[in-house]
Structure 1
Amino acid sequence: MTPEFDGIEVAAGGARWVNGQLPLITIVVPVFNEEDNVDRTYAELKRVTAELPDYRFEFLFTDNRSTDHTFEKLSRIASEDADVRVVRFSRNFGFQRSVLAGYRLARGVAAIQIDADLQDPPAMFGPFLEKWKEGFDVVVGVRRQRQESAVLKQGRQLYYRLLRRLDGPHLIVDAGDFRLIDRAVIERLRLINEPHMYLRGLISSLARRQTGIPYNRSRRDFNESKFPLRALTRLAADGIIAHSSFPLKVSFYVGIVIALASTLLAFFYLALRAWMPDAVPPGFTTTQILLLLGIGLNSTFLGILGVYVGRIYDQVRTRPMVVISDLLNFDQDIGSV
């Protein structure tokens, strides 16, 4: 679907008024089982955007097939407010695809993604838009402080710095999904079909000019986080595998090290056999060690290769990113994105 720009001519780093209309900004809100947050999130978004009279706003909720009353509440809100558009998927396609679908369906000259739990403050919309007007096509929120354990916080810091070293300096350390992206970046995203993506790194790689704004992240007041440790680990793995061949390089160097270690071990047992032939049963220890090393090495490297081959398989199938089952306040039907 070609996005509608409502008579706004897009320019680098901003928009020009055409026919007296203000620039349209899309607020993308991915949701999954957020029935306790939907009403308060909508009310807060309306309050904050009402304080930005130089722009028009639409609110695009992407529902990842919630199993509670989230969609019913969104349906009621959309029936009362034509600026609220709702997309419901046929099943849960995951957070990354949900956000990407929101960007692709955005009609604005820029889009801001924010989570439904309001841990990221909507009050940052104003500073984001100011940076956008200065010519930045990607503006990200940099988490200066967040409510979580010291172990998890330290782990995040180490991971972001590792990923920056692997992928390049375009990645902003401690930046999350709370960001503004320009229409030009959205159009580039529409051309990409990666089933296993790390959206944060992908958007940073597509930016011509990006900047970060520090902020303090609040704690989550309602419902549980949709990113427990297992999901965070999976997201971290996606970030490394999607943007780097580092695991393959690691497997190569580890293979070299183990091959050298096996060679040294072979020389050691040859010397032991020559000088102390009765110290160990003939051939037993050497056979066992080499067998275990070979099995472990092959299993590890085949697993790493399997991950990459599996992703190549998913890529060549070119299936749609998401399949849509319900649309609210859309002008036309969209089966998939």
Structure 2
Amino acid sequence: MKKLSLVVPVYYEEEVILQFLKETKIVLDSLPITYEYVFVDDGSKDKTVEIIKEQAQLDDRIKLVVFSYNHGKASAVSAAIAHATGDYLLYMDPDLQDPPIEIPRFLEEIEKGYDLVWGIRKEKKDSFINRLFSKIFWGTLNKFTGLNIPKGIAVMRMFNRDFADEFLKYNETNRFIEGIFIDISKHWTTIEIGQRERFAGTSKFNFKRKMQLAFDAIFDFSELPLKITVKFGMSLVVLGLLGIFILVVLKLFFIDFQAGWPSIIASIIIVFGLQLFFMGIISLYIGRIYKEVKRRPLYSIKDKTNL
């Protein structure tokens, strides 16, 4: 009998854990599989860990890894995959926006021989601003990185053991999970799933975190910012030389004018600002290289339950 591992990163989710377990167990108990939960707490200070530990005492299929402090969702997902033992792994959030009733459809699809099945949301249950931002966000990533990530992807996705083992070979510190998934998968598909309102609480994936994810994706999977820097620099040089040539021609043949110091100073300030901006882009790449070469662990574990 096949085994399914639910890999679930959690962060301040005390209001949803019990309902998540209740709804997923109803679905999982109806399927001809064995299963386990692998929760990874990413530094919550509420009762999230306490609630999961209480449930783990009642059911040894509930496993928990507790980080020493907040490492970020990408590290939490990586830790959950590393501790999962299933033939198939289902990555989902506990907020129940991606409904557990869709799990049988994922199983049906993965058993056709795919190594990865993405969930695609039929309709994003979110504010207009968030929907617009998501559309721009994923469109920009695909344009800048060339990853061709499916449009409208949900958190909910399923992959097989070989895929998980391959994922664990990726050791980079800067981790854009969706990009790594696309890089690994050789035979993936998508299924449309419904979406519900968040069961309780508020999303921790705020605008700041979304922007950080966008930067991580672009800088991890694209050299485009560096190429833009070079092209823009060359354009400035050409424009500068052209400007000097025009001024010389005007001075010699057409207009006898005095040097305009204010305009010169303004030009220097603009050029200096552009230099700092593009040096900053290069510095970001160097900083990421610095983090990678130190080879520090992705996360530090404070406690484990049923593992």
Question: Distance in 1 between the 2:56 and 2:7 partners?
Answer: 14
Partner residue in 1 for 2:297: 320
Q: Hey, what does 2:218 align to over in structure 1?
A: 240
1:71 to 49, 59, 65: 49
1:301 aligns with 2:282: no
User: How far apart are residue 212 of structure 1 and its match?
Assistant: 0.8
SS at match of 1:307: helix
Q: Does structure 1 residue 36 correspond to structure 2 residue 15? A: yes
Equivalent position amino acid for 1:104 in 2: A
Alignment of 1:94-243 (within 5 A): 94-168=72-146, 170-243=148-221
Aligned residues: 306
RMSD: 1.8
Relative distance call for 1:98 and 1:270 in structure 2 (3 A) is same
Decide whether the 8 Å contact of 2:6 with 2:38 is kept in 1: yes
**C-alpha contact 1:195 1:315 (8 A) present in aligned 2:** yes
> SS state of the match for residue 62, structure 1?
strand
The one-letter amino acid of 1:264's match is: L
Query: What letter matches 2:11 in structure 1?
Result: F
Per the alignment, in what secondary structure is the counterpart of residue 119 of structure 2? strand
After superposing the two structures, state which structure 1 stretch, 235-244 or 215-224, moved more.
Answer: 215-224
Query: 1:166, 1:173 → 2: CA distance?
Result: 15
Amino acid at match of 1:303: G
Paired residues for 1:52-71 under 5 Å? 52=31, 54-71=32-49
CA distance in 1, matches of 2:179, 2:218: 10
What 5-or-longer segments of structure 1 have no aligned partner?
1-21, 331-337
Could you tell me whether the CA contact under 8 Å between 1:177 and 1:200 is conserved in 2? no
Checking the alignment, whether the CA contact within 8 Å between 2:123 and 2:195 is kept in structure 1 is yes
Deviation string, structure 1 residues 133-191 (Cα, Å, up to 9, x no partner): 10001001112211223333233223323322443465222224321111111111111
Following superposition, the deviation at residue 73 of structure 1 comes to: 0.6
Distance (Å, rounded) in 1 between the aligned partners of 2:243 and 2:94: 57
Amino acid at match of 2:305: L
TM superposition shift of 1:63: 0.4
Tell me by how many angstroms 1:283 deviates.
4.3
CA contact under 8 A between 1:113 and 1:178: conserved in structure 2? yes
Unmatched segments (≥5 aa) in structure 2: none
Provide the identity percentage: 28
**Which residue pairs with 1:23 in the alignment?**
2
- Do the aligned partners of 2:145 and 2:222 also contact (CA within 8 Å) in 1? yes
| 2:122 match: secondary structure | strand
Shift of 1:262: 2.7
Instruction: Give the structure 2 partner of residue 47 of structure 1.
Output: 26
TM-aligned CA deviation for residue 201 of structure 1: 1.3
Of structures 1 and 2, the one with the larger relative CO (CA 8 A, separation 6+) is 2
What SS does structure 2 have at the residue aligned with 1:72?
A: helix
Aligned counterpart, 1:333:
none
SS of corresponding position for 2:120: strand
State how far apart, in whole Å, the 1-side matches of 2:48 and 2:64 are: 11
Alpha-carbon distance between aligned partners in 2 of 1:224 and 1:209, rounded to the nearest angstrom: 35
> What per-residue deviation string (whole Å, max 9, x for no partner) do you get for residues 35-76 of structure 1?
111111111111111121x11110111001111111111110
Distance 1:227 1:66 in 2: 14
SS of structure 2 residue aligned to 1:145: coil
Whether contact under 8 Å (1:89, 1:325) holds in the other structure is yes
| Alpha-carbon contact 1:185-1:207 (below 8 Å) kept | yes
Q: How does 1:8-19 map to 2 (within 5 A)?
A: none
Query: Secondary structure at 2:21's aligned position in 1?
Result: helix
Aligned-partner residue type, residue 71 of structure 2: F
How many angstroms apart in 2 are the aligned matches of 1:308 and 1:86?
A: 35
1:267-282 → structure 2 map (5 Å cutoff):
267-271=245-249, 273-274=251-252, 275-278=254-257, 282=259
Please, which moves more after superposition, 187-196 or 264-273? 264-273
Corresponding position of 1:88: 66
Aligned position for 1:287:
264
Q: What amino acid maps onto 1:91 in structure 2?
A: Y
